[in-house]
């Protein structure tokens, strides 16, 4: 029964699991901590039907996780935008091209 459930689960979610590992599988624990906080802030904005610039999200994340530098946070946000993970965080027009 458990094997059948596992097979069904993997059949249903296999592509999502592959994407997850290809996007986040090479990150260490600190990087995963930062990524999850950035996604949390982005989704909170989305839930409130708001958008914010990279600078605003960087500041919000840095306020939550001050042991990461603003530069680290900003670079990670840009990487997550490039991976199309973030939905409420906006980029400057020049960077979108």
> Tens digit of pLDDT for each residue in 24-71?
999 999 999 999 999 999 999 999 999 999 999 999 999 999 999 999
Q: How far apart are CA 47 and CA 24, in angstroms?
A: 23
The pLDDT value recorded for residue 6 is 85
Burial 26-40 (b: 16+ CB within 10 A, else e): eeeeeeeebbebbbe
Tell me the two tokens of residue 93: 């027009």
Q: Which pLDDT band, with edges at 50, 70 and 90, does 95 fall under? A: low
The band of 93, judged by pLDDT with boundaries at 50, 70 and 90, is low
What is the C-alpha separation between 61 and 91, in angstroms, rounded?
16
d(C-alpha 78, C-alpha 90), whole Å = 10
The pLDDT, as a whole number, for residue 3 is 86
Domain boundaries, the chain: 27-96
Using pLDDT thresholds of 50, 70 and 90, give the confidence band for residue 72. Answer: very high
């Amino acid at each position: 029964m458990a094997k059948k459930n596992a097979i069904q689960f993997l059949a249903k979610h296999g592509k999502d699991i592959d994407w997850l590992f290809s996007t986040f599988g090479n990150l260490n624990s600190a990087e995963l901590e930062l990524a999850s906080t950035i996604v949390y802030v982005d989704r909170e904005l989305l839930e409130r039907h708001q958008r914010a610039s990279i600078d605003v999200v960087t500041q919000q994340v840095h306020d939550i996780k001050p042991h990461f530098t603003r530069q680290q946070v900003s670079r990670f946000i840009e990487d997550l935008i490039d991976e199309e993970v973030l939905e409420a965080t906006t980029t400057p027009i020049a960077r979108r091209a």
